Structure 1
Amino acid sequence: MTSPTLSQLSEAQDFLTRHPQVEAVDIVLTDAHGIGRGKIIRRHELESLYTSGRGMPASLFAQDITGDDVDGALATQNDGGGDSRCWPIPGTLGLIPATGRGVVLVSMFTDHPQPADPRNVLMAQIARAEALGFTPMGAMELEFYLVDRERDAQGRVQPARYPLTGRQSHATNTMSVDELDEMSPFFDAVYAGGKALGLPMESLISEYAAGQYELTLRYRDLARAADDIILAKRLLRATARRFGMEACFMAKPFGQRSGSGMHLHLSLTQGGQNLFSSGDLMLHAIGGIRAHMAETMLVLAPFLNSWRRFASTVYSPASNTWGEEDRNVALRIPAGSAKTRHFEHRVAGVDANPYLVAAVTLGTALDGIEAATPPGPSGAADDRPLPANWAEAIRLFETSETMKRILGPDFHAGFSAIKRAEHDRLAVEVTDVEWSLYGFTV
């Protein structure tokens, strides 16, 4: 059989030759939430994955965050509950040293790309860009927390201890090089893992809160940039567990501390030349994104917790704005040479699915280019308001013809059903905070 992803058996054979000690490989299908679903296969099964694919149910794309089926999402599938074939994504097979296992990302196909697979959603928009003569390029930044496996005396989650010294700091320590040194045994292991996986990891900083860090990855083609985020999260999680800590990718894990974003840097090239280096193409792309940003917010902030990140908007813009070299706007054009000119979309949280973030950003940018949409005035004045909360974001997404067109009607209907079910489930939950405020007072 011919792999629809164009994966080659030689990639598997080369991996097995280079890693004779590896006995198992994680095969990872990314669901609508960005969560890895799949199997661990044995060494002798890897070649057959490349020659014949591997069966998995499409119902994995109709699950909520806990892995339970959502009836409304299941109704968008007409496969009778049978398996579809998953095929390896070229270039994603590698070794995670912390686990001793290999890992490879896969994508689902029937007789065509499975429309509920978020990577296929992105690939459809990349194909649209290529039909217009553009090659989308990008990179995403990861902000995340490292937290201790044990809670403090009050039962609260606390920052991870530094592996080098065993100390623990509750200070903000923004861009502290000494903090990175104390955490260096962990990050040395992460960078070693990145090398084994072929992940182009670059700068590392301590961020704007105790236990918060930011990792950047090198610019490259947009599909691989999104793959990089999926693999980097798996690497960070697996390595953190071996150091007695956990990597946390919630958008706002602590109410009084900085939230965690996933900034997307994007440009379009043609024949290796950056098309954003001059002219109005980039401004029209920004205009298209701004025209539909309100409808994309459910993708950029997909969970109830995502919206807590916007409560304190320091470096977390919750406005439909753009500007040059301004970190208070949503769409920022960084300073730099014409050769590297691009824009940075700063709204998405680190909890968002990178394939979907890339798909809606590229899709609305292409809309703007095709319609020559002006970007509007630059600066911090927001003349195109965004939804005020998660419920409004769900409603706008559900009724958006633009999102239905860009994401595809099947994915749009399934994602709408999942998010509506998640909202309704949480709407009836009574929290501990409500008990403490109202329980014996009102």
Structure 2
Amino acid sequence: MVTAPTGALTDEAQGFLDAHPEVEAIDILLSDLHGIGRGKMIRRHELASLFRAGRGMPASLFAQDVEGNDVPAALDTQRDGGGDSLCWPVPGTLGRQPNGRGLVLLQMFDRQGGPVPHDPRGAMMAQIARARAAGYQPMGALELEFYLLDARGGMARAPLGGRRLSGTNCMSVDELDEMSPFFEAVYAAAASFDLPLETLISEYAPGQFELTLRYRDLARAADDIVLVRQILRSTARRFGMRACFMAKPFGGRSGSGMHLHLSLTDPRGGANLFADGPQGDLSPLMLNAIGGIRAAMADSMLVLGPTLNSWRRLSGAIYSPACNSWGLDDRNVALRIPGGDGAARHFEHRVAGVDANPYLVAACVLGSALDGIEARTDPGPASSAEGAPPLPCDWSQAVQAFAGCASMRRILGPDLHTAYAAIKQHEVARLADHVTDIEWQLYGTL
């Protein structure tokens, strides 16, 4: 019998089928380079075979733009003749969706069981393996900000009372109560996947919310985000709403981020290697990690802000960082060290938008942190936003910087790096050629 290279066991499939005799179909989902779910809907009787033998899909999924069109320069990085590679289930990600179907995440491998180099989850797992080889177990959690809109893109109506969401209402418990039928359905679906959803708040704009997830193994933390976005989309449809994961859907309102909390532990005993020293001093290991991330920040910005819309959030910095800075318990910096118990010390990377691919974010942030640790990179002095170098503020320049960056090529692998850069260069060219409505409004009568 073939052993799944992900470690998935057929017992998981059988346990799900036994627990859910009503489920007739299962969505099998692979995350492309944009974080968009690509895959198939299989029938109940096919699930065991997926866990036993994998399922064929083309690696060309990783050479597509956001609309699913092939990008020739990205396809040129693939040398498989267009044939199918094998996708295998990710252990612990099988559950029942609000739509009544099952769902399981996948990772792609070649026919010999090696990772397909274009798969973003594979890139993350390679950096996790690098960390483990150095004696570190990466731990993390990602926070998710998003908007709930109506089906036409306007403000949604609350399920209780029917009020159209309006006003900032930051941290309003009454608004959470009005939205409670929706979020109760989200939490119920999350329980089927063992998703550790925790705190919910209304954020700093009408219809904007934030969900936090429990800290755990970094790979599972990234999988969590992929799953919870699918659950939010599916649940929203059933309430006549739309879950929006654009980084800046509305000018003049708060953008939506995906903050990554990260630490390294000792895999032998679980001790936090970022914990404060005996005198309350910050861990040199953590400071070196921050130094590595700061050194790579400009070249990694395309991963953190992958779309033109991402840069609207970064240039209009309402509670989003504008500088390459770090500091203690300061929400204006890019890399924040939260206060609290020094034994649980970690840092929060606050730059990525909610539109970023969580696997690529995890790979680049962890890889840059490991580079900093290996080189013992000094993070420089803690500073406020005013005292630090600005983050890049131009999307097309970020594409060029990423494409020419040797460290991003090494961290992500040459094939994924080249394909991602080619797709984004294609996207920049397409949008540069598009005449917008505002141009007609301003210049159409000249």
TM-score bin (small chain): over 0.9
Count of matched residue pairs: 434
1:293 matched to 2:279? The reply is no
- 1:383 Cα offset (Å): 4.4
Q: Which residue of 2 aligns with 1:372?
A: 376
Q: How is 1:248-263 mapped onto 2 (pairs within 5 angstroms)?
A: 248-263=244-259
Provide the C-alpha distance between the structure 2 equivalents of 1:57 and 1:92, rounded to a whole number of angstroms. 22
Q: Which amino acid aligns with 2:407?
A: T
Q: Which residue of 1 aligns with 2:314?
A: 310
Q: Which residue of 1 aligns with 2:27?
A: 26
Q: Which amino acid aligns with 1:7?
A: A
Q: Which residue of 1 aligns with 2:11?
A: 10
Paired residue for 2:125, among 114, 123, 142? Answer: 123
Provide the C-alpha distance between the structure 2 equivalents of 1:199 and 1:372, rounded to a whole number of angstroms. 36
Q: Which residue of 2 aligns with 1:58?
A: 59
Provide the C-alpha distance between the structure 2 equivalents of 1:382 and 1:397, rounded to a whole number of angstroms. 25
Paired residue for 1:391, among 390, 396, 406? Answer: 396
Provide the C-alpha distance between the structure 2 equivalents of 1:42 and 1:158, rounded to a whole number of angstroms. 36
Q: Which residue of 1 aligns with 2:140?
A: 138
Paired residue for 1:351, among 344, 355, 369? Answer: 355
Q: Which amino acid aligns with 1:365?
A: A
What is the CA deviation profile of residues 152-193 of structure 1, one whole-angstrom value per residue up to 9, with x for unaligned ones?
xxxxx3211000111113211000000000000000000001
Contact 2:92 2:193 in 1 (8 A): no
Provide the C-alpha distance between the structure 1 equivalents of 2:372 and 2:27, rounded to a whole number of angstroms. 39
Paired residue for 2:413, among 408, 412, 418? Answer: 408
Q: How is 1:229-308 mapped onto 2 (pairs within 5 angstroms)?
A: 229-270=225-266, 271-278=269-276, 279-308=283-312
- 1:387 Cα offset (Å): 2.1
Q: Which residue of 2 aligns with 1:44?
A: 45
Provide the C-alpha distance between the structure 2 equivalents of 1:197 and 1:404, rounded to a whole number of angstroms. 34
DSSP-derived class of the 2:393 partner: coil
Provide the C-alpha distance between the structure 2 equivalents of 1:211 and 1:83, rounded to a whole number of angstroms. 42
Contact 2:117 2:413 in 1 (8 A): yes
Contact 1:320 1:382 in 2 (8 A): no
Contact 2:150 2:156 in 1 (8 A): yes
DSSP-derived class of the 2:200 partner: strand
Q: Which residue of 2 aligns with 1:153?
A: none
Q: Which residue of 2 aligns with 1:429?
A: 434
- 1:90 Cα offset (Å): 0.4
- 1:388 Cα offset (Å): 2.3
Q: Which amino acid aligns with 2:270?
A: G
DSSP-derived class of the 2:155 partner: coil
Q: Which amino acid aligns with 1:186?
A: F
Provide the C-alpha distance between the structure 2 equivalents of 1:20 and 1:174, rounded to a whole number of angstroms. 42
Q: Which residue of 2 aligns with 1:154?
A: none
- Quick check: 305-314 or 375-384, which moved more? 375-384
Q: Which residue of 1 aligns with 2:149?
A: 147
Contact 2:255 2:318 in 1 (8 A): no
Contact 1:317 1:329 in 2 (8 A): yes
Q: Which amino acid aligns with 2:263?
A: S
- 1:351 Cα offset (Å): 0.1
Structure 2: state its 5+ residue gaps.
277-282
1:99 matched to 2:99? The reply is yes
Contact 1:292 1:364 in 2 (8 A): yes
DSSP-derived class of the 1:373 partner: coil
Provide the C-alpha distance between the structure 2 equivalents of 1:162 and 1:372, rounded to a whole number of angstroms. 51
Paired residue for 2:337, among 320, 333, 338? Answer: 333
DSSP-derived class of the 2:52 partner: helix
What is the CA deviation profile of residues 3-53 of structure 1, one whole-angstrom value per residue up to 9, with x for unaligned ones?
111100000010000111100000000000000000000000000000000
Q: Which residue of 1 aligns with 2:155?
A: 159
Provide the C-alpha distance between the structure 2 equivalents of 1:393 and 1:253, rounded to a whole number of angstroms. 21
Q: Which amino acid aligns with 1:302?
A: P
- 1:195 Cα offset (Å): 0.7
- TM-score, normalised with respect to structure 1: 0.97
- 1:196 Cα offset (Å): 1.2
Provide the C-alpha distance between the structure 2 equivalents of 1:300 and 1:318, rounded to a whole number of angstroms. 13
- 1:410 Cα offset (Å): 0.5
DSSP-derived class of the 2:319 partner: coil
Structure 1: state its 5+ residue gaps.
151-156
Q: Which amino acid aligns with 1:437?
A: L
Paired residue for 1:204, among 200, 203, 206? Answer: 200
Provide the C-alpha distance between the structure 2 equivalents of 1:283 and 1:314, rounded to a whole number of angstroms. 27
Contact 2:315 2:393 in 1 (8 A): no
Provide the C-alpha distance between the structure 2 equivalents of 1:284 and 1:64, rounded to a whole number of angstroms. 36
After superposition, the CA RMSD in angstroms is 0.8
DSSP-derived class of the 1:144 partner: strand
Provide the C-alpha distance between the structure 2 equivalents of 1:385 and 1:318, rounded to a whole number of angstroms. 6
Q: Which residue of 1 aligns with 2:280?
A: none
Q: Which amino acid aligns with 1:396?
A: A
Contact 2:399 2:425 in 1 (8 A): yes
Contact 1:314 1:328 in 2 (8 A): no
Provide the C-alpha distance between the structure 2 equivalents of 1:86 and 1:109, rounded to a whole number of angstroms. 6
Q: Which amino acid aligns with 1:287?
A: G
Contact 2:328 2:336 in 1 (8 A): yes
DSSP-derived class of the 1:160 partner: coil
DSSP-derived class of the 1:415 partner: helix
- 1:385 Cα offset (Å): 4.0
Q: Which amino acid aligns with 1:243?
A: F
Q: Which amino acid aligns with 2:335?
A: L
DSSP-derived class of the 1:273 partner: coil
